[in-house]
Chains A and B, each alone.
Chain A
Amino acid sequence: METQRQVPAGATTTATNTSALDDALAGGLAADALLSAVAAGKDTRQLTGAQRRALLASLHHQLGLNPLSGAVMFLLTNGRETLYVKKEGTDQIARREKLTRETLKGPCVETMEGVKVVICQVCVKHPDGRAETCTATLPFSAGGLVNDLMKVETKAKRRATLSLCGLGMLAEDEIETIPGARTVPADVLDEVPAERDPEREAIQAEAAPPSAPLTSPALDEFYARVAEIEMSGEAVAVWLKHRAGLHELAEAARREAWDALVKCIARVGKMKQDGAKAWLKKAVAEEDARAALAGQGSSHAAA
Chain B
Amino acid sequence: MPRRDDTSWQRTAEGQAEHVKGYTHWLAIEGSARKYGFSLGHEFLVLLAKRLTVVDVDKDGATPDAATAWRRVEGWARQGQKVAA
Contacts and interface: CB of A to CB of B under 8 A. Distances in A.
Nearest to B69: A231
A88 interface: no
Contacts of B30: none
B67 A290 contact: no
Interface in A39-80: none
A35 B43 CA distance: 55
Interface residues of B, number: 16
B79 to A, nearest CB: 15
Interface in A226-278: 230-234, 236-237, 268-270
A297 to B, nearest CB: 11
A234 B46 contact: yes
Contacts of A286: 38, 42
A281 to B, nearest CB: 13
Contacts of A234: 42-43, 46
Contacts of A237: 41-43, 46
Contacts, number: 44
A270 B71 CA distance: 10
B42 A287 contact: yes
A123 B12 CA distance: 48
A155 to B, nearest CB: 32
Which size class do A's interface residues fall under? 10 to 19
A120 to B, nearest CB: 30
Given A237-B43, A237-B46, A230 B66 contact: yes
A30 interface: no
A221 B80 CA distance: 35
Contacts of A290: 38-39, 41
B43 to A, nearest CB: 5
Given A268-B67, A269-B67, A270-B67, A233 B38 contact: no
A82 B83 CA distance: 62
A233 B42 contact: yes
Contacts of B45: 233
6 contacts: A230-B50, A232-B67, A233-B73, A268-B66, A268-B67, A290-B41
Interface of B: 38-39, 41-43, 45-46, 49-50, 66-67, 69-71, 73-74
Given A233-B46, A233-B70, 20 more contacts: A231-B49, A231-B67, A232-B67, A232-B70, A232-B74, A233-B42, A233-B49, A234-B43, A237-B41, A237-B42, A237-B43, A237-B46, A268-B66, A268-B67, A269-B70, A270-B67, A283-B42, A286-B42, A287-B38, A290-B39
